[in-house]
């Protein structure tokens, strides 16, 4: 039985896209007969304390020689010295969901630290898994634009989607248009810009549900709450917090439009989860979003452009013809989405190429 260890920061059940990707791979590999051990590192990554680094050092040192370690980039990119120390003893395979230095809202000096740290760590990985061609191009760009990664070491393994029923929405029953946003409240996800955009559309009927953690980035969450109060939208926008899978399925099923104006996405799993239900998408051109969401299914605006976002939402809310066109595009995209079985199969092949212990 082939085997490997997944190295992650924190709890594998954390409700974010990166952890969902990791969970799906673990589940799929185990179903295929693999041994997959999960090694969870305590601490707040990518800024671990000295105590967290000491614990990571102890935990990794206990791994057996020759072990293939599938390391989530949120931790791996922050531990370059540890990656170097075990580069010959372990078979590192890094997963980069999106480069750490491209997180929105970082000070330039923090960006520089994370960029250097991740580049040094990745230099010790035998292979690097990314979730989109955009991230692959970012890491392998020439000179100082890139992360010093050679293209031959990078493998694009896109996330899959699970089969889902087409959303019924509210408009079909003559109800108020329901907008759905899924993502932890954070600067990068753009919920504050979404609230500002909707503040100029109060003369139109709509309601919005934002599903996602309100505690991972307390300052960003408070900024969203303040914007809701300032614009008097607390009665039309519901901050649902973390939503379990069954309840999240119900939110998707009852939505008419999915909107997430992220500043940057390394892939954007929630976009494909919306498309899997035939939901059209309003997104930005940040990161991999243009590759993830096909043009016939989307309205796309520049990141951070509140006016353009407001105009796109206005067009969708006021044009039945546009709504029908985008809905048809989403249904077409739904039939072409990748499946998790494909992602797991590609990951298994890559791990076998790297070499795994029985």
Q: What is the DSSP letter of 142?
A: S
Q: Are 17 and 96 in contact (CB under 8 A)?
A: no
Q: Are residues 102 and 203 in the same domain?
A: no
Distance CA 52, CA 54 (A): 5
Backbone angles phi and psi of 39, in degrees to 5: -110, 110
Q: Are 29 and 347 in contact (CB under 8 A)?
A: yes
- pLDDT per residue of the chain (358 residues) written in tens, 0 to 9: 899 999 999 999 998 889 999 999 999 999 999 999 999 999 999 999 999 999 999 999 999 999 999 999 999 999 999 999 999 999 999 999 999 999 988 899 999 999 999 999 999 999 999 999 999 999 999 988 899 999 999 999 999 998 899 999 999 888 999 999 999 999 999 999 999 999 999 999 999 999 999 998 999 999 999 999 999 999 999 999 999 989 999 999 999 999 999 999 999 999 999 999 999 999 999 999 999 999 999 999 999 999 999 999 999 999 999 999 999 999 999 989 999 999 999 999 999 999 887 6
Q: Are 285 and 302 in contact (CB under 8 A)?
A: yes
Provide the domain count of the chain: 2
pLDDT at 343: 97
- Residues near 321 by Cβ (< 8 Å), separated by ≥ 6? none
Name the one residue in this structure whose structure tokens are 């039985």. 1
Q: Are residues 265 and 234 in the same domain?
A: yes
- Residues near 327 by Cβ (< 8 Å), separated by ≥ 6? 278, 280
Q: Is residue 95 part of a domain?
A: yes
Distance CA 182, CA 196 (A): 17
Q: Are residues 125 and 262 in the same domain?
A: no
Q: Are 300 and 287 in contact (CB under 8 A)?
A: no
Q: Is residue 165 part of a domain?
A: no
Q: Are residues 150 and 299 in the same domain?
A: no
Which pair of structure tokens corresponds to residue 308? 């353009």
Q: Is residue 166 part of a domain?
A: no
Q: Are residues 319 and 187 in the same domain?
A: yes
Q: Are residues 121 and 253 in the same domain?
A: no
Q: Are residues 156 and 177 in the same domain?
A: no
β-pairing verdict for 207-211 and 237-241 = parallel
Q: Are residues 106 and 253 in the same domain?
A: no
Q: Are 130 and 98 in contact (CB under 8 A)?
A: no
Q: Is residue 291 part of a domain?
A: yes
Domain of 28, CATH number, reads: 3.40.50.2000
β-pairing verdict for 178-182 and 257-259 = parallel
Q: What is the DSSP letter of 243?
A: -
β-pairing verdict for 68-72 and 91-96 = parallel
pLDDT at 325: 97
Distance CA 276, CA 252 (A): 10
Backbone angles phi and psi of 36, in degrees to 5: -130, 105
pTM tops 0.95: no
Tell me if residue 213 falls in helix, strand or coil.
Answer: coil
Q: Are residues 313 and 212 in the same domain?
A: yes
Which pair of structure tokens corresponds to residue 50? 């000295």
pLDDT at 135: 96
Q: Are residues 255 and 301 in the same domain?
A: yes
- Across 177-189, b (16+ Cβ under 10 Å) vs e yields bbbbbbbbbbbbb
Range(s) of the domain holding residue 39: 3-160+339-354
Q: Are residues 39 and 98 in the same domain?
A: yes
Angle, vertex CA 62, rays to CA 57 and CA 64, nearest 5: 130
Q: Are residues 81 and 201 in the same domain?
A: no
- Residues near 176 by Cβ (< 8 Å), separated by ≥ 6? 170, 205, 206, 207
Strands (E), the chain: 3-9, 35-41, 68-72, 91-96, 127-130, 154-156, 178-182, 207-211, 237-241, 257-259, 281-284, 298-301
pLDDT at 73: 96
Backbone angles phi and psi of 85, in degrees to 5: -60, -35
CA 91, chain centre distance (Å): 25
pLDDT at 105: 87
Distance CA 79, CA 5 (A): 17
């Amino acid at each position: 039985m082939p085997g490997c260890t997944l190295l992650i920061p924190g709890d594998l059940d954390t409700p974010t896209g990166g952890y969902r990707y990791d969970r799906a791979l673990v589940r799929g590999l185990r179903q295929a007969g693999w041994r997959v051990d999960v090694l969870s590192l305590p601490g707040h990554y990518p800024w671990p304390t000295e105590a967290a680094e000491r614990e990571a050092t102890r935990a990794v040192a206990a791994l057996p020689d020759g072990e293939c370690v599938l390391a989530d980039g949120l931790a791996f990119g922050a531990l370059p010295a540890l990656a170097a120390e075990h580069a010959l003893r372990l078979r590192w395979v890094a997963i980069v969901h999106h480069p750490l230095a491209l997180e929105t809202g970082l000070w330039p000096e923090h960006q520089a630290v994370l960029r250097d740290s991740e580049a040094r760590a990745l230099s010790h990985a035998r292979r690097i898994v990314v979730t989109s061609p955009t991230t692959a191009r970012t890491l392998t760009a020439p000179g100082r634009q890139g992360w010093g990664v050679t293209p031959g070491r990078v493998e694009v393994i896109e996330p899959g989607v699970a089969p889902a029923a087409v959303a019924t929405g509210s408009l079909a029953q003559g109800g108020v248009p329901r907008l759905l946003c899924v993502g932890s409240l954070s600067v990068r996800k753009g919920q504050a810009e979404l609230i500002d955009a909707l503040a100029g559309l109060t003369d139109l009927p709509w309601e919005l549900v934002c599903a996602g953690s309100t505690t991972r980035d307390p300052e960003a969450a408070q900024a969203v709450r303040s914007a809701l109060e300032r614009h008097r939208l607390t009665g039309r926008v519901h901050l649902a917090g973390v939503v379990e899978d069954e309840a999240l399925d119900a939110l998707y099923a009852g939505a008419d439009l999915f909107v997430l104006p992220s500043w940057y996405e390394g892939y954007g799993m929630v976009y494909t989860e919306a498309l899997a239900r035939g939901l059209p998408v309003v997104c930005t051109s940040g990161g991999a979003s243009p590759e993830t969401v096909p043009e016939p299914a989307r309205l796309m605006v520049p990141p951070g452009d509140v006016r353009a976002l407001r105009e796109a939402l206005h067009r969708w809310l006021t044009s039945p013809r546009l709504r029908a066109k985008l809905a048809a595009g989403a249904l077409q995209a739904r039939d072409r989405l990748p499946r998790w079985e494909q992602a797991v199969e590609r990951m298994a092949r890559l791990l076998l190429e790297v070499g795994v212990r029985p």
